[in-house]
Amino acid sequence: MQFRKLGKTGKEISALGFGAMRLPTRGKETDVDESAAIEVIRHAIDRGVNYIDTAYPYHGGHGERVVGKALEDGYREKVYIATKSPIWQVEKFDDFSRIFDEQCARLNVDYIDFYLVHCVQAPFWPKMQELRVFEWAERAQADGRFGEFGFSFHDRFEFFKEVVDAYDWRFCQIQYNFVNEDVQAGAQGLKYAAEKGLGVIIMEPLFGGTLANPPDPVREIWQAAGRKPADVALRWLWDKPEVSFVLSGMNRIGQVDENVETAGRAGVGQFSDEERQLVSRVQEKYKELSPIPCTKCGYCLPCPHGVNIPLNIELYNSATLFKGNPSALCRNLYHGLPASEQAKACQACGTCEERCPQGIEIGKLMPEVAETFR
């Protein structure tokens, strides 16, 4: 296993981290198959993974408890634990400590290595500051309750910059993969945070697993090249010096072994020109398959009513192209937008259609987008 430095924290973290959002279940998300989950987590640690990421709401609150059980029998001493504060459930200052104590009890620990504000989005930002989250974090750190403080993010790049600049964060966690380079913080956010010295953790490297199970026209490109999409997608990320490490939600031992093997032969400067060309062909095919021919040129902006037209179309295209779980991901991203930027705010005034080089009937499309994510 290769190790990479997590920004200004200076911590050496395995290139592959374990994301405990998708543990093995018996059908329902809340019904975690504990024995299988513990086996997979411990196998990952035995293979060199030293960072376990979980959160308060994962698996209906059972995720942290299962992770805690997996880290018994000496495994706690081999890893860093990361979990997150559910800001949407905090109503008063003391709630931060109450929830943190509950998380420690679930995990069966008295110290957490990495603590994040979960899912930072513009609607919650004023509340975070009013509730004095930074004051609480500094007190908790001074009392020796947790080590490094960071945030996970699901919003626009412009807002990402505001959050990064608002505090002396040590690290952040963003969604990033080769089909989502311009979504949320995106490539710009990756570089901006790294330039500020933050460690940058990547989540959804395979877009909820769907990049590993592509539509048939994309699958044909991978097969012709004799390459596995998950292998190339992960190597594409590890080639970037701004990426500290990558989280993968693994629920089978086979997945762990495949990803560990890939991590062992990946790194900055290890991604070939041939692989870059392959990714470019795959990216173009995904664009070609998208039902709405939006090029994200931005000529439709600004919308008089504030709708983020290109992002709404991109989410709609992704939800249509990737069925099932990715649609849920896209739905969450859509509802994370401010109401004024969502498709439902469209007034069909026609201003954007006059500017659109592709001739997209945006006024007719936005209600369909809104209905898709209703």
- In three-state secondary structure terms, 335 is helix
How would you write the pLDDT of the chain (374 residues) with one tens digit per residue? 999 999 999 999 999 999 999 999 998 888 999 999 999 999 999 999 999 999 999 999 999 999 999 999 999 999 999 999 999 899 999 999 999 999 999 999 999 999 999 989 888 899 999 999 999 999 999 999 999 999 999 888 999 999 999 999 999 999 999 988 888 899 999 999 999 999 999 998 998 787 888 889 999 999 999 999 999 999 999 999 999 999 999 999 999 999 999 999 999 999 999 999 999 999 999 888 888 888 777 889 999 999 999 999 988 988 887 755 556 778 888 988 889 999 999 999 999 998 887 889 999 999 999 999 98
Which DSSP symbol is given to 144? T
Taking alpha carbons only, the member of 331, 306, 305 closest to residue 318 is 331
The secondary structure element, H or E, covering residue 154 is none
> Mean pLDDT, the chain, as a whole number?
93
Rounded to an integer, what distance in angstroms lies between the CA atom of residue 350 and that of residue 363?
A: 6
Classify strands 12-14 and 3-5 as parallel, antiparallel or unpaired.
antiparallel
Rounded to an integer, what distance in angstroms lies between the CA atom of residue 162 and that of residue 174?
A: 15
Helix/strand/coil (H, E, C) string of 226-272? CCCHHHHHHHHHHCCCCCCEEEECCCCHHHHHHHHHHHHCCCCCCCC
Q: What is the pLDDT of residue 210?
A: 78
Residue 259: partners with Cβ closer than 8 Å, 6 or more residues away: 16, 230, 234, 248, 250
Query: CA separation (Å) from 187 to 8, 92, 309?
Result: 20, 35, 20
Query: CA separation (Å) from 192 to 137, 165, 186, 339?
Result: 24, 10, 10, 26
Q: What is the pLDDT of residue 326?
A: 58
Instruction: List, in order of start, the domains of the chain with CATH numbers.
Output: 3-277 (3.20.20.100), 291-372 (no CATH)
Contact 310, 363 (CB under 8 A): no
pTM of the model: 0.85
Q: What is the pLDDT of residue 324?
A: 55
At 28-77, the pLDDT tens digits run 888 999 999 999 999 999 999 999 999 999 999 999 999 999 999 999 99
Q: What is the pLDDT of residue 276?
A: 96
At 130-186, the pLDDT tens digits run 999 999 999 999 999 999 999 999 888 999 999 999 999 999 999 999 988 888 899
Q: What is the pLDDT of residue 53?
A: 98
Q: Which string of b and e fits 303-329 if b means at least 16 CB within 10 Å?
A: beeebbbbbbbbbbbbbbbbeeebbeb
Q: What is the pLDDT of residue 323?
A: 59
Q: What is the pLDDT of residue 313?
A: 93
Quick one: CA dihedral 98, 99, 102, 104, positive or negative? negative
Which DSSP symbol is given to 55? -
Beta bridge partners of 32: 25
Residue 64 φ/ψ, nearest 5 degrees: -60, -40
